Structures are given as structure tokens and as C-alpha cells.
């Protein structure tokens, strides 16, 4: 039974709300002193999803925000930062802060993505409207265009830097820029085909604000990936990047073992060893870390089960797996059996060069939290990491995703084999593969010819740019069910389908389908165009079975 009256902030990542409404908070405020002491101008913290990035950005905003100094002054009472040296505490409420969360800037095309960016910047400019009266007439015109959503792309690209100059002019203090989930729009651009557009925008947007900005106190950025400097931070030579492979700042994202032990005791959660087995196991440069999202759910619900698995974020990984090298399957199987694999560690993600290579996939899985480093060592010019699945919860998420990929990959290869067998007139192989695919994919209740027609069309329609696949077209003295034709005129294929209710009649109906091709001369248009090789297939379907007949090519 819980003996702590503080509520658990599931899904609440606003620091002010967490503190003022009396939610449980695991104190990470000493991060503030660390950032100020280290003195980096731009700090990038790549971490897996649900590891407290947004709450951290909110905490920093509430600490430094000059506009809310008085109302926020008591938020940090009793927290670690209160014990910092006086020169650190004097920084509280001292600076104007620009805080952007790019997590919501996700769209299926560049036009919608740019609109989302415009709306975000409109809100930021509207929020800081106090600077308006100090602007020149030209600056006011640009400001007006931004808050009326009519500015040019170049004006939006300079908007973050310009706003920091306006705030400096108004408050006489340099600006702190906080950007949460900085890589979310870039990932969407890569997945949905507008990568170049979003990269060009972000390169200028970040470059102007973070590289050539004389009004910047410091900046903190969070995301999942460490995007290569060559692709987004072009010319930006000042970011310090603290990833899960770096010791610095490793304790601030996620829960430490002693923090988890205290929570479990306060909220009366037993089975500490089971909790450890399920949610511990992350190794951030030698620091043992628990997934905070899962721990908070456990102490609220007193139930050990997968929580992190349902929080999304697998689209890009699934895209990479579609093109995975054959060796990846063996590595994935080893990982699911509790073994380790070795890779050359590479934190830089260049989206334009993402492939299904072994190194790409497993480095990406590491950054996303599906894997962790058990041990790393230098071998000549390379850093080699021994990777494993961190805990039971992630193993379940991992197995679910990878099993789905195995199934999809298996069917995809079968489809490719089916297409090649059809073109080679290998009837027996075509029949075997088609029956294998049907056994995995078709309900017993789909015994309708139109269904089978669409099913086979779906298997063959992506044969490539060198082939034409058509169905239900007139030729000879009727309409064939399906045709495949190579564009160079070297080969053509006619397929005719029949559906039967009685399995014992499948051979007979496949023969009749073949006879129909000849009787109605479906091949006649191909012959007129000079197709050299014409193949004919009669296919009979019954439930999840198919029988195929063919004739020698002519």
C-alpha cells in the first residue's frame, strides 16, 4: 500500500505543474549547476524516448526564465540546486528563454511540415511580443509577417536568431535557447521524402541561432539521435554532444539505482529484484540507469509489465530493417537468445546515407534504447562495442518488432521468388510458393474469384519499372484476368483464374482456365507486338490452396 501522498506524473512533463501540483519528482536539478560550470555554448543530449528529456528542458526553462522569476522563485525550494554555490543560484530568473518543442512538427509532406514550423514560430513570437515597441520599422514588418503566418522561408530561417537579438535588446541579458526533440522533423522528412527541404531549413535555422549569434548565453538541445554535423550542423563548430556513450551528464536522464530503491520503498512496491530484471540494465558510459517511464508506471499501478513497448518511435527502424543485410537476421536471433554482438560504434547519423547495413541498424538500435553497451574497447582506430538487450521489458518490445520483421521479410523474399519463377515458367515452384504465401495470409472465408484476383495482383504489381502488370483488359475474344509484359518485348505472361468449392475439382478447373486462354486467344495482342516468349498459366483456387497448370512457351 502506498504511504506517499504525492501523485505519479504519468505523461506530465511540465516541471512547474509537477512541482506546484505536488507530483512526485526525482530531483535532477543539479544538472543546472553542471551546465553552468562546464560552460559549453551549445549542449546536445541525445537519449532514447521516455527518458525525461522534455521534463528536463521544462526544468531549465523554469529556472532561468526572467519573465517568470517571481512566480517561479519557490519552485526549486528544497531541491539539489538550492545547495549550489551562490554564484550559481544568482543565475535563477536572470535570462530571457526561448523554448521550442519540435516533437509536434511532424507531417507527411514538406508543405504541411513548413506550416507546422510557421505555427510554432508564430506562437513563440506572440509569446514574446513585449519586444515589439523597441524594433525598427523594418523589424516590425518582419515580426508582423511572422505572427500573421506570411513571412518568407528565409525570414523564418532567421527568426530564432532575430528573436534572441530582440530579447537581448529588451532585457539587456543574453538569451538561453532550449530545443526539445530537435531531430523529430528531420526523421519525418527522411521517412516521407522531403529530407532535403527540412535539412536545408534546419541547417540555416540552427546555424544562424547557434553559431553566429552574439546574443546567446547558451543552448541545450535534446533528441534521440546525434545527427551528423555534415548533414545539419554544417559549419556549426561549437556544439558539445553528450550521448549515452559519454560519462558526462550520464546520471541526469533516467533513474539511478538508489533513486529507484527509494521510490519503491516510499510507494510500497515489493519484488525489487523483479523490477530490476524488467527495467534496469541500461549502461550509459558506466552509469547504471533505469527507464524512468516504466518505473513511474510500476509505482503507480503496482504491476510489472511492458510499458515502454507501447510508446511508439519505430518507423525509421522498420524502414531500415526492410533493406537489412542477410547477416542482420543471425545477429537479431542471437540478441533475442540473450547473447551479445559486437559492432563498431558510430554515433553520427547521416540520414541521407542510412541503409540496411549491419552497423547502421545496430548503432541506431543502441541510440533508440533497444540495445545497450555491455563493454567497449578501442581496436586500432575503431571503438568496438559489445551490445545486448538491456532488460526483460525491452526484450519483449524487441521480440515483437523483430518477429514482425522476420515474417514480413520472409514473405517479401517469397514474393520475389514467386515473380522470378513465373517468368522462368517453373510451374511447380510457382505453385509451392503461392501456396506458402496463401497459407500465411488468407482467411478460409475468402473463396471468391475477385478476392484471389486482387491477391495475386498485389503479389505481382511491384515487379519493377521494366515490367507492365495489367488486369481485366480486352485481348483476342475476351478479357484476360492478368497480364505481365516486359517492356523490351522479350517476354509476356497470361494468367487466368478459377475458383472452385470442391477441392477435388481444382485440377480440372486449372486445366479449363488454361484452355480458356487458348480458346479466346488472350495472347493475340502480344504476338502482334512481336513478343518473343509467351507463357500461360491456369490457376484454380480453393480456400488456402492453389493448383496451377501451364503450357510450354511459344
Classify the C-alpha dihedral 165-104-279-26 as positive or negative.
Answer: positive
Q: b or e along 180-215 (b: 16 or more beta carbons within 10 Å of the residue's beta carbon)?
A: bbbbbbbbbbbbbebbebbbebbbbbbbbbbbebeb
Q: For the chain, which domains are there? A: 27-241 (3.40.50), 314-404 (1.10.10), 424-550 (3.40.1350)
In the prediction, which pLDDT does 441 show?
66
Q: Do residues 356 and 323 make contact, with C-beta atoms less than 8 angstroms apart? A: yes
- For position 445, what pLDDT does the model report? 42
pLDDT of residue 366: 92
Per-residue confidence in pLDDT tens, the chain, 554 aa: 345 569 999 989 999 999 999 999 999 999 999 999 987 899 999 999 999 999 999 999 999 999 999 999 899 999 999 999 999 999 999 999 999 999 989 899 999 999 999 999 999 999 999 999 999 999 999 999 999 999 999 999 999 999 999 999 999 999 999 999 999 998 889 888 898 899 899 989 998 899 888 999 999 999 988 776 556 766 555 678 899 999 999 999 999 999 999 999 999 998 899 999 999 999 999 999 999 999 999 999 999 888 886 655 667 777 777 777 767 878 888 888 889 999 999 877 667 666 667 888 899 899 989 999 999 888 888 889 999 999 999 888 777 777 777 766 677 778 888 999 999 999 999 999 999 888 876 554 445 556 687 778 878 877 877 898 887 777 777 888 889 999 888 999 999 999 998 889 999 999 999 999 989 988 888 988 889 899 999 999 988 899 999 876 65
State the cell numbers at 507: 485440377
What is the Cα 233 distance to its own chain's centre? Answer: 20
Q: For position 444, what pLDDT does the model report?
A: 47
As beta bridge partners, residue 386 has 342, 375
Place of cell 513548413: 114
User: Which H or E run includes 385?
Assistant: strand 382-388
| 180 contacts: CB under 8 Å, gap ≥ 6 | 53, 54, 57, 99, 100, 101, 102, 103, 221, 222
CA–CA gap between residue 437 and residue 416 (Å, rounded)? 12
* C-alpha span between 293 and 298 (Å, rounded): 9
Grid coordinates given for 200: 536545408
Provide the grid cell at 430: 510457382
Question: What is the reported pLDDT for 312?
Answer: 59
Rg (CA), the chain: 30
This prediction has a pTM of 0.75
Residue 298 · residue 304 · CB < 8 Å = yes
Q: What is the pLDDT of residue 38?
A: 87
Q: Measured between alpha carbons, how far is 481 from 509 in angstroms, rounded to an integer? A: 15
Q: Please give the angle made by the CA atoms of 240, 243 and 246, to the nearest 5 degrees.
A: 90
In 3D, which of 129, 119, 135, 120 has the Cα closest to residue 96? Answer: 129
Amino acid at each position: 500500500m502506498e504511504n506517499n501522498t504525492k501523485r505519479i506524473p504519468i505523461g506530465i512533463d511540465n516541471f512547474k505543474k509537477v512541482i506546484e501540483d505536488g507530483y512526485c519528482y526525482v530531483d535532477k536539478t543539479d544538472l543546472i549547476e553542471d551546465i553552468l560550470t562546464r560552460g559549453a555554448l551549445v549542449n546536445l543530449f541525445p537519449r532514447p524516448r521516455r527518458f525525461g528529456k522534455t521534463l528536463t528542458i521544462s526544468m531549465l526553462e523554469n529556472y532561468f526564465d526572467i519573465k517568470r522569476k517571481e512566480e517561479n522563485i519557490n519552485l526549486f525550494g528544497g531541491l539539489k540546486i538550492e545547495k549550489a554555490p551562490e554564484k550559481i543560484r544568482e543565475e535563477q530568473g536572470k535570462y530571457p528563454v526561448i523554448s521550442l518543442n519540435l516533437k509536434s512538427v511532424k507531417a507527411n509532406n514538406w508543405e504541411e511540415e513548413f506550416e507546422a514550423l510557421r505555427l510554432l514560430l508564430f506562437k513563440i513570437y506572440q509569446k514574446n511580443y513585449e519586444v515589439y515597441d523597441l524594433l525598427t520599422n523594418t523589424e516590425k514588418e518582419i515580426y508582423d509577417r511572422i505572427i500573421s503566418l506570411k513571412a518568407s522561408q528565409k525570414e523564418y530561417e532567421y527568426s530564432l536568431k532575430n528573436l534572441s537579438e530582440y530579447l537581448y535588446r529588451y532585457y539587456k541579458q543574453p538569451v538561453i535557447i532550449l530545443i526539445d526533440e530537435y531531430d523529430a522533423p528531420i526523421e519525418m522528412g527522411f521517412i516521407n521524402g522531403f529530407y532535403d527541404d527540412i535539412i536545408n531549413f534546419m541547417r540555416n535555422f540552427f546555424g544562424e541561432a547557434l553559431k553566429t549569434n552574439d546574443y546567446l548565453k547558451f543552448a541545450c538541445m535534446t533528441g534521440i539521435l546525434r545527427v551528423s554535423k555534415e548533414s545539419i550542423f554544417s559549419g556549426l563548430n561549437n556544439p558539445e554532444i553528450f550521448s549515452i556513450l559519454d560519462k558526462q551528464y550520464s546520471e541526469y536522464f533516467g533513474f539511478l539505482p538508489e533513486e529507484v530503491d527509494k521510490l519503491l520503498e516510499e510507494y510500497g512496491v515489493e519484488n525489487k529484484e523483479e523490477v530490476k530484471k524488467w527495467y534496469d540494465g541500461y549502461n550509459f558510459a558506466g552509469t547504471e540507469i533505469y527507464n524512468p517511464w516504466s518505473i513511474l508506471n510500476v509505482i503507480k499501478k503496482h504491476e510489472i509489465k511492458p510499458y515502454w513497448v507501447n510508446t511508439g518511435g519505430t518507423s525509421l527502424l522498420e524502414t531500415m530493417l526492410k533493406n537489412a543485410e542477410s547477416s542482420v537476421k543471425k545477429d537479431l536471433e542471437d540478441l533475442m537468445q540473450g547473447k551479445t554482438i559486437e559492432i563498431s560504434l558510430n554515433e553520427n547519423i547521416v540520414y541521407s546515407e542510412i541503409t540496411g547495413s549491419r552497423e547502421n541498424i545496430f548503432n541506431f538500435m543502441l541510440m533508440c534504447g533497444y540495445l545497450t553497451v555491455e563493454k567497449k574497447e578501442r581496436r586500432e582506430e575503431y571503438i568496438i562495442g559489445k551490445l545486448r538487450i538491456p532488460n526483460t521489458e525491452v526484450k519483449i518490445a524487441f521480440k515483437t518488432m523483430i518477429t514482425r520483421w522476420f515474417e514480413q521479410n520472409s514473405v517479401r523474399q517469397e514474393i520475389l521468388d514467386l515473380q522470378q519463377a513465373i517468368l522462368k515458367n517453373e510451374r511447380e515452384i510457382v505453385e509451392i510458393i503461392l501456396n506458402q504465401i496463401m497459407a500465411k495470409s488468407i482467411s478460409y472465408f475468402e473463396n471468391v474469384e475477385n478476392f484471389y484476383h486482387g491477391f495475386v495482383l498485389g503479389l505481382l504489381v511491384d515487379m519493377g519499372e521494366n515490367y507492365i502488370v495489367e488486369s481485366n483488359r480486352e485481348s483476342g475474344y475476351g478479357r484476360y484476368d492478368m497480364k505481365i509484359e516486359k517492356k523490351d518485348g522479350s517476354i509476356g505472361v497470361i494468367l487466368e483464374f478459377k475458383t472452385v468449392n470442391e477441392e477435388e475439382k481444382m485440377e480440372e478447373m486449372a486445366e479449363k482456365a488454361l484452355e480458356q486462354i487458348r480458346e479466346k486467344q488472350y495472347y493475340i495482342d502480344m504476338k502482334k507486338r512481336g513478343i518473343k516468349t509467351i507463357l500461360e498459366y491456369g490457376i484454380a483456387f480453393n480456400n488456402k490452396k492453389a493448383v496451377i497448370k501451364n503450357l510450354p512457351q511459344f
